[in-house]
Each structure stands twice: as C-alpha cells, then as structure tokens.
Amino acid sequence: MDMPAVTRCTAESCAYNQAQTCHALAITIGDPQHAQCDTFYSAPVAGGDPSAVGHVGACKMSECQHNVNLECQAPEIQVGAQADIVECLTYQPA
C-alpha cells in the first residue's frame, strides 16, 4: 500500500512547510475530536527533508470515509487551517 501524499499544506507557520509543501516524511492525522495534523510543529527552524514530499503515515480518524484500519486510503490529501486548528482538509465523515 502506498501512503497518500500531502499535495498541499497551507499551514505556513509549520516547521515542515516550505512553499505550501509538506516536507515531513510522514505525518499523523487525528485526535479524538478533530482531523488535525498531529505533526504540525511551529518552530523558527525549517524541518523535514527538503527533497521529499510529505505522506500520511497514520490516521486516527476511524470514522473518515477514506480510513481503513486506521490507514488513509485517499489518493492524496490537503492540510490547512480550520479556525485555530491545522486539519486534514480531505477528511470526510463516513
């Protein structure tokens, strides 16, 4: 199984975000209430691998229509701010 790519991230204050591209090798999505990006990290230094595009390593949103056994099956995802939370914008309740 291939991990879905993060094709766009608008969380500009994230250390892994450079030019709306996620450079964390793998992100985790979800907490008990929100499809938030658990990998979001605000820091003054750039993080991740600048030659890599981020992928979804795990998703804890079991009620999402793209989730099978806590793994994301969407072809790709987008991440961005919703209110004060950085979330998976591809999340769709089942």
Give CA–CA dist 70/82, Å, rounded. 22
pLDDT computed for residue 83 by the predictor: 82
In a domain, 32, yes or no: yes
Number of domains in the chain: 1
pLDDT computed for residue 33 by the predictor: 83
pLDDT in tens, 43-72: 999 999 999 999 999 999 999 999 999 999
pLDDT surpassing 80 at residue 32: no
In a domain, 31, yes or no: yes
pLDDT surpassing 90 at residue 1: no
pLDDT computed for residue 86 by the predictor: 96
Domain extent, residue 44, equals: 5-88
In a domain, 20, yes or no: yes
In this structure, is the dihedral angle defined by the CA atoms of residues 84, 38, 53 and 8, taken in order, positive or negative? Answer: negative
pLDDT in tens, 77-86: 999 988 889 9
In a domain, 93, yes or no: no
In a domain, 59, yes or no: yes
